[in-house]
Amino acid sequence: MDILNDKKIEELELKANDIRESIIEMLLEAKSGHTAGPLGMADIFTALYFHILKHDPKNPIWEERDRLVLSNGHICPVLYATMAHSGYFEVEELKTLRKFGSRLQGHPHREWLPMLETSSGPLGSGLSQTVGMALADRIDNGRATQKFFYCLMGDGELDEGQNWEAIMLAGKEKLHNLIAIVDRNNIQIDGFTEDIMPLENLRQKWESFNWHVEEIDGHNFPQIISAIEHAKAIFEKPSVIIAHTIPGKGVKEFERKYEWHGKPPNKEEGAMALAELRTLGGKIKSEHE
């Protein structure tokens, strides 16, 4: 892992901004898809793929790689964009999102894009899959395994009961190399989470199932990376990072509005969003000069 100095933080911030631009371009081309969640999670995906994960885009089935499972598959534009920018496939392919015959379906399909770890779409199943992977790895390699298993989840999908069965099992099995990251953006398709099905006190819920809990600003790279480093140092229990994010981050018109959960921008909205993100990229550069 590279040293996290000011230069590296600037690189990560600029890369996340590039990924947000790609997300808007993908959605404009597809004319369908989800906007708020992908924009909100760009910083976390950037931190993972460009600083944290042990992975090799030139050898995606490398046995020693870390495993990343996206449970809330509808935010896949941010996954696809990050993978493309890190070298798994050409960035130009992003514009095939949701098109007939494309590898980049509206929810990730493992058989069509083999560098994915799982197919996802049905909410609430990703953590169970990740727990199973971590348990299988323990059987094969013992507790001294060098792999980490990451599950990225939405907060709204915690309404699904299957999650809590997986949380209970992981805590019981003390899966120390399992790290869940919850996108705590407080929205779901029908409204705000605390109106639809209140989740708080979310920290206490996870802790009661024997998980180590960290809460962070999901747009602050030092906090993101520090929380994951702390989680990797916990050896007696699994870890969850509750990442407080702004849905639609980077485009003021989209931010904090649940209406953008599941709709794409139109041509005018997309042009506005891209202009704002390009201006933001210039601001990032000037702030680090």
Domain boundaries, the chain: 6-287
Q: Look at the pTM and tell me if it is higher than 0.85.
A: yes
Q: Considering the domain 6-287 in this protein, what is its CATH number?
A: 3.40.50.970
Q: Judge whether 223 and 209 are in contact, CB under 8 Å.
A: no
Alpha-carbon distance 169 to 163, whole Å? 10
Per-residue pLDDT of the chain (289 residues), as tens digits, is 677 888 999 999 999 999 999 999 999 999 999 999 999 999 999 999 999 999 999 999 999 999 999 999 999 999 999 999 999 999 999 999 999 999 999 999 999 898 899 999 889 999 999 999 999 999 998 887 889 999 999 999 999 999 999 999 999 999 999 999 999 999 999 999 999 999 999 999 999 999 999 999 999 999 999 999 999 999 999 999 999 999 999 999 999 999 999 999 999 999 999 999 999 999 998 888 7
Cα→Cα distances 112→103, 138, 225, Å? 5, 28, 31
